[in-house]
Chain A
């Protein structure tokens, strides 16, 4: 079955370290997204991609970067982790061209920055 997987599921790091969260999907979807969820908040968009070599900033992109070198993967990098980036991160993908925009989510990666 097609799926979307995130790794690691849990990560503890220190302030200032570089961290990369992996996202791999086998749906062959062109669209991929990274969201973060904080307590009491919904999902806020960090970065997204509509295809290979395409990346776009979301509403909370500061301190994060992504690259899309193939259809299956969209890794999220925190260049210098900050305590404010402690959160649960969700990767998602969706089909294109136009459709309902239904997102398929990974299980999430819980990141703690000490």
Chain B
């Protein structure tokens, strides 16, 4: 049973528009949620996180929203830039321990 799911394998948006990446989870014990960005042939890098006690966290062009009742979180990128083209992984952890990852969403931002 996959505890963290990213149901959209890919997303394509125009430069300057908003990108919305979605993630669903099933384990109600998760208390921290993180997004990672991965370029080809590189390791993932941390992007933004949110605690389960919050419903929104913003960092520059990146905002993560958490809906605990729906067990759903989303990452908004505004405005999208070609350099944002990468694979985005959603992850969740309990007490900041081991993280469980989704399968990733490949974002393509077209100039």
As a 0/1 sequence over residues 92 to 108 of chain A, the CB contacts with chain B under 8 angstroms (1 = contact) are: 10101011111111111
Query: How far does the Cβ of B23 sit from chain A's closest Cβ, in whole Å?
Result: 11
Question: In the bound complex, do residue A42 and residue B96 qualify as a contact, i.e. CB atoms below 8 Å apart?
Answer: no
Shortest Cβ distance from B94 into A: residue: A101
Q: Which of B1-60 contact A (CB under 8 A)?
A: 4, 6, 9, 32, 34, 36, 41-46, 49, 51
Query: How far does the Cβ of A22 sit from chain B's closest Cβ, in whole Å?
Result: 15
Query: How far does the Cβ of B103 sit from chain A's closest Cβ, in whole Å?
Result: 4
**Known contacts A43-B89, A107-B42; A96 and B104 CB within 8 A of each other:** no
A33 to B89 CA separation, bound complex (whole angstroms): 17
Shortest Cβ distance from B51 into A: residue: A100
**Known contacts A99-B96, A108-B43; A42 and B34 CB within 8 A of each other:** no
A43 contacts across to B, CB distance below 8 A: 44, 89, 91, 101
Option from B41, B44, B49, B104 in Cβ contact (under 8 Å) with A105: B44
Query: How far does the Cβ of A74 sit from chain B's closest Cβ, in whole Å?
Result: 13
Q: Which of A41-100 contact B (CB under 8 A)?
A: 41-45, 48, 50, 56, 58, 90, 92, 94, 96, 98-100
Option from A33, A100, A104, A105 in Cβ contact (under 8 Å) with B32: A100
Query: How far does the Cβ of B17 sit from chain A's closest Cβ, in whole Å?
Result: 26
Query: How far does the Cβ of B68 sit from chain A's closest Cβ, in whole Å?
Result: 17
Given contacts A33-B98, A99-B96, A104-B46, 12 further A-B contacts (CB under 8 A): A40-B9, A45-B98, A94-B96, A101-B32, A101-B93, A101-B97, A101-B99, A103-B34, A103-B44, A103-B46, A103-B91, A105-B36
